[in-house]
Amino acid sequence: MEFKKQFQALQQTLPCQSNPPASDAVHQRRSANYKPNIWNYDYLESLSSIYDGQEYERQAQKLIVNVKDLFEEAVDKVAKLELIDSVEKLGLDSHFDVEIKEALDIISSTKNKNPSPKEDLYTTALCFRLLRQHGYEVSQDMFRGFMDEKTGLFKKSTRTNIKEMLELLEASHLALEGEDIMDAARDFSTETLKDCIPNLDCDLAEQVSHVFELPSQRRLRWFDVKWHINAYEKDRHMNAMLLELAKLHFNMVQATLQKELRESSRWWRNLGLSKDLSFARDRLAESFMCSVGFASEPRYTYLRKSLTKVTNLIAIIDDVYDVYGTLEELKLFTNAVNRWDVSETQHLPECLKNCFLALYNTVNEIANEIQKEKGSNQLLPHAKKWTDFCNALFVEAKWYNMGYTPSLQEYLSNAWISSAGAIFLVHQFFSMGHDVTKGMEDFLEKNEELVYNISMIIRLCNDLVTSVAEQERGDAPSSIVCYMREATVSEEIARMHIQGMINKTWKKINGQCFNQYPTQQFVNIATNTARMAHSLYQNGDGFGVQDHGTRKNIMFLLVEPFMLY
């Protein structure tokens, strides 16, 4: 594949430097000035919940049976669509997979996908979004009846319906490449909503701001559940039984997550790596939160525990290359990873020996656990992704030491690998347990472009937020700096260009992630990796700086239950 060829060529040859080398950079230790970890591990290991007992399980099952009756009672199309939408936003869809599929099958089987004269824009947009999210074939032509044939623009109404404009905007973010009607839908709904915001009541204004901040297609659903439960409680059409189940389910899932967090915290403390590598980010709670974002369903306990370890190691190794290691040390460290051999670390400082040993032991332990379950060594042959990751970080370290600024394309051909997206996806894939069925093993090889595009979202979202701090401490250039110098443009224009690349990449992901049976569950988890990037870097560096929105998210998701009575 072209991406691999570019990276392999990059490893062999680096262009001559264009800027003066950083003085004495090879001999000096740098610092990113990361603040100490704010989470007390005794506190994390003390978290407990009353909602992990059989009493609440029985209560939830009764409510689930009653809510299933709502699907029978929802006879018309709008009622079915709105029930499905509510169930999913409230985080309950895993309990009603059969009912949701049966309802969408009926709606999708309607041969005429164009809206009837009686069908409004709200219903059409909601139908389009839900069908496309669930992998059904659905055309943008559903919206053609709402457009002016002469201008090619959406018809303006004398009275703006905020609900339909919100739904149209959400639907537009599921656009595929080349869908000009969906682009027009995004522009029209955005402009209309912006004009209306000053005249909206608080609740409606909050809903509009929520979608403007980040559309649902780019949000981690579980991270958004509490917000939707609170919004649903204010809805005058709220179903009290559905609301009760949503709160109870959230608390029960939270109890499961707290147990996993306690175990992960003990693993991290026993590893002792945070003491050896004081220069690196100590971010166990944030790493666990990422694993929850990848897959929140209770059955994915093993995936979350293993991905917490992987995320922690990725952050630390990234800091080894970006902050601590000299070029010679990084060459030795990279060689040890390439050979996957502890003996290659003998000339490294003790802290870097321990770092490699932690990586080596952790990946091998995960591989052995997967082998016990599957009966074959499936992960280790793919562990080369760690090699690619470290090689890419080493390329960036060489650029830094040369004072070299690559072109944007040259930067991205390496940076999508240093984003660690491929590592996440490999470990997600093989940590899914029985959900990885026979015949799926070559999925990653067959879908390299999906892996590439998800990795690009991680990299570009990261760059938009961390570029300034990285330049202040003298790191290798980001995509923003590369484009500024290459195109001779301002930082503002460069940021707009990178945001445009993110939007285009999402269209590619949309085209690659729908209708992927029988791998749909993994594709959903993989796509959550791109969504995690938006979550972490939405309001600043949510991984490096703990007192931003990430701390609030952790408290919201992992500490604070709903009060039920």
pLDDT digits (tens, 9 = 90+) for 485-518: 999 999 999 999 999 999 999 999 999 987 666 6
Question: Could you tell me the residue ranges of all domains in the chain?
Answer: 65-245, 246-559
Span 223-267, pLDDT tens digits:
999 999 999 999 999 999 999 999 999 999 999 999 999 999 999
> Does domain 65-245 match CATH 3.40.190.10?
no
What does the alpha-carbon distance between residue 228 and residue 232 come to, in Å, rounded to a whole number?
6
Span 383-417, pLDDT tens digits:
789 999 999 999 999 999 999 999 999 999 999 99
CB atoms near residue 91 (< 10 Å) = 22
Predicted pLDDT at 6: 46
Q: Report angle CA 73, 74, 75 to the nearest 5 degrees.
A: 100
What does the alpha-carbon distance between residue 79 and residue 89 come to, in Å, rounded to a whole number?
15
Verify cis geometry, omega within 30 degrees of 0, for the bond prior to 518.
Answer: yes
Residue 477 clears pLDDT 80, i.e. is over it:
yes
CATH class name, domain 246-559:
mainly alpha
pTM of the model: 0.91
Span 270-314, pLDDT tens digits:
999 988 888 889 999 999 999 999 999 999 999 999 999 999 999
CB atoms near residue 244 (< 10 Å) = 17
Span 515-540, pLDDT tens digits:
666 688 889 999 999 999 999 998 77
Residue 11 clears pLDDT 70, i.e. is over it:
no
What does the alpha-carbon distance between residue 497 and residue 479 come to, in Å, rounded to a whole number?
10
Predicted pLDDT at 436: 65
Percent of the chain with pLDDT over 70: 88
What does the alpha-carbon distance between residue 386 and residue 363 come to, in Å, rounded to a whole number?
10
Predicted pLDDT at 290: 95
Burial of 557 (0-12, 13-18, 19+ CB in 10 A): buried
Under DSSP, is residue 147 helix (H, G, I), strand (E, B) or coil? strand
The count of C-alpha atoms lying within 13 angstroms of the C-alpha of 513, restricted to the half-sphere facing its C-beta, is 30
What does the alpha-carbon distance between residue 379 and residue 99 come to, in Å, rounded to a whole number?
35
Asked whether 189 and 168 are in contact (CB, 8 A), the reply is: yes
What does the alpha-carbon distance between residue 532 and residue 425 come to, in Å, rounded to a whole number?
13
The residue whose two tokens read 């472009």 is 449
Predicted pLDDT at 12: 47
User: In 30-183, which ranges are E strands?
Assistant: none
Instruction: Enter the DSSP assignment of 564.
Output: -
Burial of 261 (0-12, 13-18, 19+ CB in 10 A): buried
Instruction: Enter the DSSP assignment of 348.
Output: S
Predicted pLDDT at 168: 97
Under DSSP, is residue 154 helix (H, G, I), strand (E, B) or coil? strand
Which pLDDT band holds residue 471 (cuts at 50, 70, 90)?
low
Q: Identify which of 345, 322, 459 has the alpha carbon closest to the alpha carbon of residue 399.
A: 322
Which pLDDT band holds residue 36 (cuts at 50, 70, 90)?
confident
Predicted pLDDT at 377: 65
Q: Identify which of 336, 289, 297, 294 has the alpha carbon closest to the alpha carbon of residue 317.
A: 336
Residue 25 clears pLDDT 50, i.e. is over it:
no
